[in-house]
Each structure stands twice: as C-alpha cells, then as structure tokens.
Amino acid sequence: MRTVSENACFGGVQSVHTHASRATGCDMTFGLFLPAEARDGPVPVLWYLSGLTCTHENAMTKAGAQGWAAEQGIALVFPDTSPRGDGVADDAAYDLGQGAGFYVNATQDPWAPHYRMWDYIADDLPRVLTANFPIDPDRQAITGHSMGGHGALTLAMSLPGRFTSVSAFAPICNPTASDWGRKQFTAYLGEDEAAWAAHDASLLMRDRGFDGPVLIDTGTSDQFLDLLRPEALASACAERRQHATLRLQPGYDHSYFFISSFMEDHVSFHAEALYSG
C-alpha cells in the first residue's frame, strides 16, 4: 500500500492511498478520513460508495462529510467506483466501464478479469483497512449516492450482520426495470435476468429486507428520477413492513449540493446506530 497524500482535517486526517487489489487484479485508490479519536484506538466506520463517473475524490471533496464525522468520532471510507488502468476494459459511454463498476462481479468478457467491485468492497478493501488502520470491523455502516446508493443497499441486504445501518442519496432503486441497470447488467452479468435479481434493491427488500434502520433521500427535482424508481423501493418497504425512512426532498436535484445539504442527517443517523450497540 502506498500513501498518496495526508491532510489535517477537522482535527483528524484525510488521506488517500493506493494498493494492489486481489479482487480487481489492478491497483485501486481509496480515500480515508480518520477522526481524532483514531489516535487512541479503533473507531467505527461509515462507507461512502459514489455514483457514475466518480472516483474516490468526488465525495471526499464535495460531500461535506468529514466535519460531521469528526463530531461523531467516525471514520469515512471513499472507495473508487471501478477498476482502472491501461489494461482494464472501458467503454466510450459514461455509464459503462471505468467509473461505472455498478458494484457487481462481472462474468462476461471483456469485463470479467477486472470488474469485481462486489468482492472489492465486501472483502478486499475491508481487509486492507483493518490490517493497516484503527478501524473497528464490528462497527460499520454504509451509504452511497445514485449507483453507489444501489451498491450500499444491495451490499447491506446481502451481507447480514455486516452493517449496523444503511442510507442512500438518490439511489438506483430498481435497476432490473431501468435503463440504469438493464444495460449494465446485460454487459457485466449476461442476458439471464435471473442473475440480476441479487443486485436490485427493490427485489432484495421484498425478499430479505434489512435488519436495521434505513434512510433514503431523493430530490423531487432530480433529473434522473424516472431512472431511479424510488417508488419501487417504497412499495417493497411497505410490503415487507421494513423499518425505513424514505424522504422526497422538495426542489433538490441529483448533485452534490443535494448530498451536502443532507449529509449531517445521514452521518447522525449512522452514528446513532453505530454507538447504540
């Protein structure tokens, strides 16, 4: 692992690191914020999964999360959204290839050799974090935006006991029924739609639910609202009687202005769950 940068931030340290990933077969980059409390021992961690076209850096510099995390004594992890490099398959479209890993393990060529973002987030990066930093593996929460909100929800429901709480900003809620999902799942996972169900938050909510609190925020002026399909997740939560708070925020769009406006709510939401256990 190599440290790219370290900066003092709200009494703690915001750093960026690269490492050789066993999951993706290439070097990966992630951002990590450690609050002041990490100097004295392991701290809880909140994962932030970013959306299409993003790297580790977008949320790290735009979401305004570090100040609120510092108040709560929580670490923040900002992974990249896909494998990258000259030998990694890519596509000219913004919603496929590098920057658009969709948090799945690809089974189809040319994506299969490197696009294993599920394994990277679920297994590879957690091992790196707990081996090298004062992160408490028993106190983890997860959030994300758009494609990252999809990833946060599907990982949380598929890894029972891993995360105390899950939240999302404008998540892709029903990708098997959306152009943001059907295109990528066909490319990465093949045309057998049965293989897609494990990566659809609305279907997982109906089938499994989540054993913990859920918070979802979506803007009513989100320019991608029809692709996000928040109504599908709301229906699934109602059918399952899931403990969840789903909010439509009047006038907000899909941007980081929206995310930063409600970041305090989300960090406080996760802090309550992380410290209540």
Q: 81-116 as b/e, with b when 16 or more CB fall inside 10 Å?
A: bbbbeeebbbeeeebbbbbbbbbbbbeeeebeebbb
Catalytic residue among 114, 199, 254, 270: 254
Laid out side by side, the sheet with 244-249 consists of 2-9, 12-20, 27-34, 75-79, 43-49, 135-144, 166-169, 214-219, 244-249
Cis peptide before 250 (omega within 30 of 0): no
- The question of whether 136 is a catalytic residue gets the answer no
Catalytic residue among 50, 56, 222, 270: 222
DSSP code for 247:
E
- The question of whether 222 is a catalytic residue gets the answer yes
CA-CA distance, 178 to 227, in Å (whole number)? Answer: 6
Catalytic residue among 21, 50, 146, 202: 146
- The question of whether 40 is a catalytic residue gets the answer no
Of all residues in the chain, what percent are helix, strand and coil, respectively (each to 5)?
40, 25, 35
Q: Which residues form the catalytic set?
A: 146, 222, 254
